[in-house]
Amino acid sequence: MGLLRYSINVTLDGCCHHEAGLPPDEESMAYWTARVAEADALIYGRLTYEMMESAWRRPASGPWPDWMTAWDIPFAESIDRAKKYVVSGTLDAVDWNAELLAGDLPAEIRRITRGSNGILAVGGVTLPLALADLGLIDEYEFLVHPVLAGRGPTLLSGLRERISLEVIDRREFPSGVTAQRYRPILVSE
């Protein structure tokens, strides 16, 4: 059965908005490239899917845009070819190597995890909150940036119940970014 891992960039004050001043550097892009490459599939909500597609889908013309650095291209290539699932009640169809999930969310996620033996990477803000509330996330992975945003959406804001976590991995980059991975502590009743 596949492992459902929620991964996201976050500031020290918990902001998880992509415009929170979290500029990618070569090291964090290499980290995310490896994470995307190791995933069996990526699972996004509509907004995250559309945002990622607009930034990282290979242009129909073939070459990558001039704004991409040498260390952006491996990430772009990895995410471009990755299998994707998109959770949406408003989209009629998706492409970019994606399958639309519009039915019962817990049932769809369980179907996908049962059909996988690897990692299923969840990204975004709204969808992971719903999955956390349902107890479906097996691992949480945060790249914590040494930035105080002071505004914007915060990580898992609105979570219905507290989730206790245990650290399973921690890595510090020279930039001050830390990659932190956790798993929920199962509480027996």
Strands annotated E in the chain: 3-11, 39-45, 84-87, 98-101, 119-122, 139-145, 165-172, 178-184
* pLDDT given at position 151: 86
pLDDT in tens, 146-172: 989 888 889 999 999 999 999 999 999
Q: What share of the chain is helix, strand, coil (3-state, %, to 5)?
A: 25, 30, 45
Structure confidence at residue 43 as a pLDDT band (50, 70, 90): very high
pLDDT digits (tens, 9 = 90+) for 107-129: 999 999 999 999 999 999 999 99
Q: Give the pLDDT confidence score for residue 74 in this predicted structure.
A: 95
Question: Which of 137, 122, 36 is closest to 79 using CA atoms?
Answer: 36
Q: Which of 33-42, 59-68, 165-174 has the lowest mean pLDDT?
A: 59-68
Q: What is residue 21's predicted lDDT score, i.e. its pLDDT?
A: 64
- Burial class of 75 by CB neighbour count within 10 A (0 to 12, 13 to 18, 19+): buried
Q: What is the rounded CA–CA span in Å between residue 21 and residue 121? A: 23
Give pLDDT, residue 188: 61
Q: Work out the pLDDT band at 186, boundaries 50, 70, 90.
A: confident
